Amino acid sequence: MKKRKKKQEQKPYGNVKPKNYRAIYEEKFYDILLQLRYPLMTVIFFTTLGVVMLMILNNKSDGKSVLNYFFHTIITFSTVGYTEGYEVDPEHLYVNRLFATIFIIVTIPFVYMYGLVKTVDVFVNSNIGEIYRFWRMYKAMEELTGHYIICHFNGITRELMKNLKKRNIKFVLVEPNPDLEKEIRDFGVEFYVIDEPHKRSVLLGVGIEKAKGLVTAFEENTQDIAVIVTARLIRPDRNEFLVFSTATTEGAADKMKLLGANEVIVPDVAIGRRITSFILHPPSPVLSGFLEKIAYGERTDIDIIEIKIGKNSKLIGKKLKDIGMRQETGATIVAIIRADGKMKIAPSGDTEIKEGDSLIILGHPKALRKAEEFFKRYMTEEVEEEQKEGEKVS
């Protein structure tokens, strides 16, 4: 019977291979080695020839003699100087020196002028240190998981990367303009590639399948749209992979959301609303700065998160004081947004949790991580119950 070949699972983005940036620099390193093959072969050939000829002339082939002849050959064509450096039979002394004279005349052009000089020239002018630096960077980049991909280097992404660095959140910058590479390096970006982010092979090459999200902030809407479409083609699930973008108009922002962006910011609108808030609520230097730093992630000692309550959660119907979240995690529920949009600020311990609630939780990043684990336990139990119910039905 003929074995049936299993059909390879077709990926939604086609059979596109990730661009291997590490392999590109490995190939450059191999190119350097190829340039050295003839110079090194020349040096090896004449070194071997010198040792063998001295063995024949002196009629000696023991290990000590071979080592002496090797030393003799090296100092001859390296122009260090001439001396046997070992005992030579008087009958072979003049023959050795005659051979050394001829050997110097023959080998200097080949070994020194071509072999050694060419070898040094290749190492000096090949930027081998730079090649190794990029190879090491891309090798480390391949190990990233849960990182963010940032497309384009400008004022917006500079501020974004600065804040991500404070939180020790890893990211890879993709910039299509090679003229900005020096600025990128001076800014201290750990991982970056100079390439077109709208290409599937590029996004796959920077680890989009293992990434947590993507941010695109080009000046042209068309470039952002191209990146969003490509990213969503590879990672269609909006909950598992987040896509954020900027847009020049609200109309463009709406289109980007339809194409797959989770959130789109229009800088002009955001700035206008921010200034309006200052006019309507005259800011306190301390309070406004405090809230702004929390909202924009500038503080590293305090943060805020949202937890959604699912329809089958075991927390539904329980009071806040009964679940013991604050005691266990150290985080505080500062507000509850009901399913109908109504907001309950500073809820008391007697406040009841309802289906569809969004819990706004404030606290130290470590406390918030504990809070996420606290609520995840109820989500896990909820999934297990659904699975058991499904097994009973089947």
CATH number of the domain within which 221 lies: 3.40.50.720
Q: Please write the tens of the pLDDT for every residue from 240-269.
A: 999 999 999 999 999 999 999 999 999 999
Please count the structural domains in the chain.
Answer: 3
- The confidence score (pLDDT) of residue 10 equals 65
Examine the pLDDT at 364 and tell me if it is beyond 80.
yes
CATH number of the domain within which 387 lies: 3.30.70.1450
Q: Please write the tens of the pLDDT for every residue from 49-84.
A: 888 888 887 888 788 788 877 877 777 666 655 555
How far apart CA 106 and CA 102 sit, in angstroms, is 6
- The confidence score (pLDDT) of residue 152 equals 96
- The confidence score (pLDDT) of residue 85 equals 54
Give Cα separations from 262 to 188, 228, 252 (angstroms): 28, 10, 14
How far apart CA 241 and CA 141 sit, in angstroms, is 19
How far apart CA 193 and CA 156 sit, in angstroms, is 18
Write down which residue in 97, 126, 155 finishes a domain. Answer: 126
- Structural domain includes residue 68: yes
Pick the more confident residue, 358 or 32.
Answer: 358
Pick the more confident residue, 289 or 196.
Answer: 196
Q: Please write the tens of the pLDDT for every residue from 211-247.
A: 999 999 999 999 999 999 999 999 999 989 999 999 9
Are 121 and 149 within one domain?
Answer: no
Residue 362, strand partner residues: 304, 332
Are 332 and 362 within one domain?
Answer: yes
How far apart CA 127 and CA 135 sit, in angstroms, is 12
Examine the pLDDT at 274 and tell me if it is beyond 90.
no
- Structural domain includes residue 271: no
- Structural domain includes residue 281: no
Are 89 and 122 within one domain?
Answer: yes
Are 384 and 352 within one domain?
Answer: yes
Examine the pLDDT at 299 and tell me if it is beyond 90.
no
- The confidence score (pLDDT) of residue 44 equals 79
Examine the pLDDT at 335 and tell me if it is beyond 50.
yes
- Structural domain includes residue 180: yes
Are 319 and 349 within one domain?
Answer: yes
Q: Please write the tens of the pLDDT for every residue from 123-177.
A: 777 788 888 899 999 999 999 999 999 999 999 999 999 989 988 999 999 999 9
Q: For the chain, give the mean pLDDT.
A: 83
Write down which residue in 207, 238, 265 finishes a domain. Answer: 265
Please check whether residue 216 is in contact with residue 151, taking contact to mean a CB–CB distance below 8 angstroms.
Answer: yes
Are 122 and 84 within one domain?
Answer: yes
Please check whether residue 361 is in contact with residue 334, taking contact to mean a CB–CB distance below 8 angstroms.
Answer: yes
Are 148 and 259 within one domain?
Answer: yes
Residue 207, both tokens: 């680890």
Sequence-distant contacts of 342-351: CB under 8 A, at least 24 apart: 347/320, 348/320, 349/319, 349/320, 349/321, 350/319, 350/320, 350/321, 351/319, 351/320
Return the ∠ at Cα 222 (arms to 220 and 223), rounded to 5°.
75
Per DSSP, helices labelled H in the chain are 21-35, 37-58, 63-77, 90-107, 117-125, 128-141, 155-166, 181-187, 200-205, 221-234, 250-259, 267-280, 285-295, 320-323, 325-329, 365-393
Write down which residue in 126, 154, 171 finishes a domain. Answer: 126
Q: Which of 296, 298, 382, 294 is nearest to 332 (CA)?
A: 294
- Structural domain includes residue 107: yes
Examine the pLDDT at 383 and tell me if it is beyond 70.
no
Return the ∠ at Cα 252 (arms to 219 and 201), rounded to 5°.
60
How far apart CA 334 and CA 338 sit, in angstroms, is 13
Are 100 and 153 within one domain?
Answer: no
Are 104 and 56 within one domain?
Answer: yes
Are 195 and 255 within one domain?
Answer: yes
Domain hosting 316: range is 301-393
Phi, psi of 62 (to 5 degrees): -75, 165
- Structural domain includes residue 354: yes
Are 166 and 76 within one domain?
Answer: no
Pick the more confident residue, 383 or 155.
Answer: 155
Are 308 and 351 within one domain?
Answer: yes
- Structural domain includes residue 102: yes
- The confidence score (pLDDT) of residue 71 equals 76
- The confidence score (pLDDT) of residue 101 equals 72
Return the ∠ at Cα 271 (arms to 270 and 273), rounded to 5°.
65
Please check whether residue 371 is in contact with residue 325, taking contact to mean a CB–CB distance below 8 angstroms.
Answer: yes
- The confidence score (pLDDT) of residue 393 equals 44
High-pLDDT (> 70) share of the chain, %:
80
- The confidence score (pLDDT) of residue 48 equals 85
Sign of the alpha-carbon dihedral angle for 15, 21, 26, 32:
positive
DSSP 146: S
Q: Would you place residue 117 in the very low, low, confident or very high pLDDT band (cuts 50, 70, 90)?
A: confident
- The confidence score (pLDDT) of residue 198 equals 95
Please check whether residue 351 is in contact with residue 332, taking contact to mean a CB–CB distance below 8 angstroms.
Answer: no
| C-beta atoms surrounding 187 within 10 Å | 15
- Structural domain includes residue 43: yes
